[in-house]
Amino acid sequence: MKINGVPYRSVWVDPTDHRTVCIFDQTRLPFALEILHLSSSEQVAHAIITMQVRGAPLIGAVAAYGLSLALSSDPSDEAMEREASMLAATRPTAINLRWAIERMLQKLRPMNSQDRVEAAYKEAGLICDEDVAQNEAIGRHGLELLRNIKNRKKAEERINILTHCNAGWIATVDWGTALAPIYMAHDEGLDVHVWVDETRPRNQGAALTAWELGSHGVPHTVIVDNAGGHLMQHGQVDIVIVGTDRVTANGDVANKIGTYLKALAARDNDVPFWVALPSTTIDWRVQDGLKEIPIEERSPLEVTAVTGLTKGGQVETVRITPEHSSAANPAFDVTPARLVTGLITERGCCNASGTGLRSLFPATTGQ
Ligand SMILES: CSC[C@@H](O)[C@@H](O)C(=O)COP(=O)(O)O
């Protein structure tokens, strides 16, 4: 995607030294656009844990480069296994992280240590290129859904889409998952408007989705997380599209906390609820999302405080709860497959079920 007319991906290798990995510091958006240069696997791990990079596909891609950086300083078997485990443990819910590390190890384990560094950067680059192609394909398939909605509307009526968290281009290597169809619809002149859930506690919607959509000129309105049900009751949402951090072999969907409540409201109001994902987000080894997907529990400080821009232009974090109140912060929830209208993948759309997924990915037996 472009920023001020310049095309960017969300992660790239510094062209001047061919080793350092560059990302946008997502904790600084939307107030500042800062590029971070990561030159060790520890720095990559820190960036993932602190959510300077986040979004399921992107943390997989960045972790793959993290392993490449580790091998640059020590390409031995011991170091590779140790650093791979360290990177895989940085966040628990998104399966793309473990998928990317596993793919790197499968490629690198049989190799001589002296050949590993070049091979690792090449494989990480392939992971990135494939992610871009998958998200572009998701965009094309999701665009069909939006065109169908438009065909059922009067000429002057816009398409209202609700989304949760940030599943845009900065959550992936490019395009995004849930936002890819929206960008394509906007680019071809469909009148789309996006209701952006702010997505407390970290406000990925208010900060990141709104920034992305605004930079691309897509009309959007930020709403508090609790407004979606009300808007659906009043016919102001045509479709919900969200991304996901892990989809089980049966089609259960883990995504940012609050997604489940949107799916319930959508079902009660006959609003289609779609989930967009590259196949790297499917965990074929897991069936029951509620029992088997680990849900990340983050710091209570993310709940008891908010960060924003003061009138003086300073970014500040302030407490919003009584000093001695405790807080809980489960970062994801699981939406059962029965509440999901369908999945948008790079191979097309399918039912959120084992049969639906197997109709598109018949040969996949595991990761
Ligand atoms: C294309 S990204 C889909 C998901 O990763 C996204 O919706 C999400 O929940 C991200 O969570 P985050 O905690 O910001 O990494």
Per-residue pLDDT, 221: 99
Atom of ligand 1 nearest to the CA of 243: 3
Provide the CATH number for the domain around residue 260.
3.40.50.10470
- Same domain for 208 and 288, yes or no, is yes
pLDDT in tens, 70-79: 999 999 999 9
> What is the mean predicted confidence (pLDDT) over 36-56?
98
Answer yes or no: is the C-beta of 171 below 6 A from any ligand 1 atom: yes
Answer yes or no: is the C-beta of 204 below 6 A from any ligand 1 atom: yes
Domain-embedded: residue 365: no
364 has pLDDT over 70? no
> What is the mean predicted confidence (pLDDT) over 297-324?
96
Domain-embedded: residue 169: yes
Q: Indicate the pTM of the whole model.
A: 0.97
Per-residue pLDDT, 78: 98
Is 47 marked as binding a ligand?
no
- Same domain for 42 and 163, yes or no, is no
pLDDT in tens, 206-237: 999 999 999 999 999 999 999 999 999 999 99
Rg of the chain's alpha carbons, rounded to an integer? 20
Answer yes or no: is the C-beta of 256 below 6 A from any ligand 1 atom: yes
Buried b (16+ CB within 10 A) or exposed e, 218-237: bebebbebebbbebbeeebb
127 has pLDDT over 80? yes
Last residue of a domain, one of 129, 153, 186: 129
Is 154 marked as binding a ligand?
no
Provide the CATH number for the domain around residue 47.
1.20.120.420
Calculate what percentage of the chain has a pLDDT beyond 90.
Answer: 98
> Looking at the 3D structure of the chain, how many domains does it have?
2
Last residue of a domain, one of 82, 97, 129: 129
Report phi then psi at 286, rounded to 5: -115, 135
- Same domain for 249 and 350, yes or no, is yes
Is 19 marked as binding a ligand?
no
CA distance 251 to 274: 12
Q: Which residue has the tokens 């909605």?
A: 149
Q: Whose CA is nearest to atom 9 of ligand 1?
A: 256
Domain-embedded: residue 289: yes
Mutational test site, ligand 1, from 53, 165, 199, 280, max ligand atoms within 8 Å of CB:
165
Per-residue pLDDT, 255: 98
For the chain, where are the E strands, in sequence order?
A: 2-3, 6-7, 11-13, 21-24, 35-38, 159-163, 192-197, 220-223, 239-242, 246-248, 253-256, 273-276, 282-283, 305-309, 315-319, 332-335, 342-345, 348-350
Domain-embedded: residue 136: no
Domain-embedded: residue 218: yes
The number of angstroms, rounded, from the C-alpha of 325 to the middle of its chain's C-alpha atoms is 31
- Same domain for 116 and 51, yes or no, is yes
Domain-embedded: residue 134: no
Domain-embedded: residue 135: no
- Same domain for 206 and 87, yes or no, is no
Is 54 marked as binding a ligand?
yes
Answer yes or no: is the C-beta of 255 below 6 A from any ligand 1 atom: yes
Per-residue pLDDT, 268: 98
Q: Say if residues 182 and 166 touch (Cβ distance below 8 Å).
A: no
Per-residue pLDDT, 48: 98
pLDDT in tens, 265-298: 999 999 999 999 999 999 999 999 999 999 999 9
Please state, rounded to an integer, the average pLDDT across all residues of the chain: 97
- Same domain for 181 and 70, yes or no, is no
- Same domain for 228 and 338, yes or no, is yes
Calculate what percentage of the chain has a pLDDT beyond 70.
Answer: 99
Can you tell me whether residue 67 is helix, strand or coil? helix
155 has pLDDT over 80? yes
Domain-embedded: residue 367: no
Per-residue pLDDT, 363: 77
User: Smallest Cα–Cα separation from 107: which of 80, 83, 70?
Assistant: 80
- Same domain for 32 and 177, yes or no, is no
- Ligand 1: centre distance to CA 76 (Å): 33
- Same domain for 224 and 342, yes or no, is yes
> What is the mean predicted confidence (pLDDT) over 164-192?
98
- Same domain for 125 and 163, yes or no, is no
Answer yes or no: is the C-beta of 54 below 6 A from any ligand 1 atom: yes
- Same domain for 105 and 237, yes or no, is no
- For 86, the domain range is 2-129
254 has pLDDT over 50? yes
Atom of ligand 1 nearest to the CA of 164: 7
- Same domain for 227 and 326, yes or no, is yes
Q: Which residue has the tokens 């690198």?
A: 108
Atom of ligand 1 nearest to the CA of 276: 1
367 has pLDDT over 50? no
Which ipTM value was assigned to this complex?
A: 0.98
Q: Whose CA is nearest to atom 10 of ligand 1?
A: 55
